[in-house]
Structure 1
């Protein structure tokens, strides 16, 4: 390969990684919006009802794209792995919102912010991605910031907490499988996940059904639209960049958790929360700058073929 071609290839790879990071940040923000909205809704309605109506709205929103790309659904790669991914996605969403019925949103978020640790540990084994000691250090520092900010409560051994932890593990494996299936079209990935939650929600919703008001129907529809945007952003991020690069940016959840806590639930952040958020942001920026530096170094030292 000629030098210009190699430079172009490295530049494209670096741009893809940076785009993946940006999409992950946007996806995390949208998920945080949906999480806050979902917790608000499950204070009145059953979790199954949230899953079903949220999935209904998402599938209606996606229907034009599903029809336009319908042929892609008949050429799905690795169907067994796709089915496992849908199952994990469905269980993860149900576990998250079920846990928020009994635990504060911040506590549930604590468990999910452990995902970068799980993903980084597994990405070397499952995806054969190289994770250097600097990135490991930044990830561990970022997780330390999470502990400073949220200070897990004495409820860490409760059943709701175990449900949240199980959801976190499911989400971690889901992210790795998404990376493995990155050749699958975005619309197929998103649709299959919402079909899974639609089925589970339909099975669960008759238990504890509460007839929603018109205002609540609007909120359910908004939850579906938000989840579509978030899911597509995260799936695309995992296609563009290695999981160990983009997943640590889930730490930005704590920033949004603090902001939504103030704006929606009237929570006042403690000094420890502010300090932890600063540590998390610093660790994330370090990983981002490290990626840029590595990209430049590769372009400079790799000789032409």
Structure 2
């Protein structure tokens, strides 16, 4: 809930491609959490790639921060929260049914969000005023619910049937897709510095994925 709220808030201030690219510091955070929390082995090359990828993310953040201020850091919050979410999903997806997992998440989130909305409305917090959506807004909200649910189910199923090293490179397709959609719908494109940062982040992330794949390859048995 906090991660999605932070991402929605970021999209009010940042171009789609910038917000997604900044949030893609998540794989580097997952790698560090794997080393320092789960005790996984992470070599110096992957640590160096993490550092380079983080520098690339800062190149995306810098012009955004200059334009909008602290909201440019919201995708970083998203990255930390979803890194923790993915680590938990890795453990539960192996044993729990994806449909049951998704349904339980929604059942837990709905009453909590209703309580937050009611409290915010009573306290007159900014952005918490109840508004009746128009017909077109309702259709957009319904589309968000359907697409979001389907996307989460696909992610949960993929974690159940395929190793993360196979899936991780496909996640980076989200950045060019976000860039294309942002341009087609909102006519937003990353500026020069942000574009360089996006390229560095993608390259570092793909290198991390490559090294993880190499580390998981079985050692040939001696003759």
Smaller-chain TM-score bracket: 0.7 to 0.9
Task: Report what 1:217 is aligned to.
Answer: 138
The question of whether the paired residues in 1 share the 8 Å contact of 2:65 and 2:73 is answered with no
Residue by residue over 1:125-172, the C-alpha shift from the partner in whole angstroms, topping out at 9 and shown as x without a partner, is 4334322222333333333333334434147974x4666544432222
Residue by residue over 1:261-283, the C-alpha shift from the partner in whole angstroms, topping out at 9 and shown as x without a partner, is 21121113323333333333333
Distance in 2 between residues matched to 1:248 and 1:141, nearest whole Å:
17
Shift of 1:121: 0.9
Of residues 31, 34, 53, the one that matches 1:142 is: 53
The question of whether the paired residues in 1 share the 8 Å contact of 2:56 and 2:196 is answered with yes
Of residues 203, 216, 220, the one that matches 1:282 is: 203
Task: Report what 2:95 is aligned to.
Answer: 183
The question of whether the paired residues in 1 share the 8 Å contact of 2:6 and 2:74 is answered with yes
Deviates more, 1:160-169 or 1:191-200: 160-169
The question of whether the paired residues in 1 share the 8 Å contact of 2:15 and 2:190 is answered with no
Distance in 1 between residues matched to 2:100 and 2:135, nearest whole Å:
31
The question of whether the paired residues in 2 share the 8 Å contact of 1:96 and 1:164 is answered with yes
SS in 1 for 2:130: coil
Distance in 1 between residues matched to 2:194 and 2:67, nearest whole Å:
19
Change over 3 Å in CA distance of 1:215–1:121 after alignment to 2: same
Show structure 2 runs of 5+ residues with no match.
Answer: 122-127
Kindly report which structure 2 residues correspond to 1:188-267, keeping only aligned pairs within 5 A, or say none.
188-203=100-115, 204=117, 207-239=128-160, 240-242=162-164, 250-267=171-188
Kindly report the root-mean-square deviation, in angstroms, between the aligned alpha carbons of the 2 structures: 3.4
Task: Report what 1:91 is aligned to.
Answer: 2
The question of whether the paired residues in 2 share the 8 Å contact of 1:150 and 1:273 is answered with yes
Shift of 1:250: 5.0
Distance in 2 between residues matched to 1:110 and 1:126, nearest whole Å:
25
Task: Report what 2:218 is aligned to.
Answer: 298
SS in 2 for 1:273: helix
Change over 3 Å in CA distance of 1:156–1:113 after alignment to 2: farther
Shift of 1:223: 0.8
Show structure 1 runs of 5+ residues with no match.
Answer: 1-89
Deviates more, 1:254-263 or 1:161-170: 161-170
Number of matched residues? 210
Shift of 1:227: 0.7
Shift of 1:289: 4.2
TM-score normalised to structure 1 length: 0.56
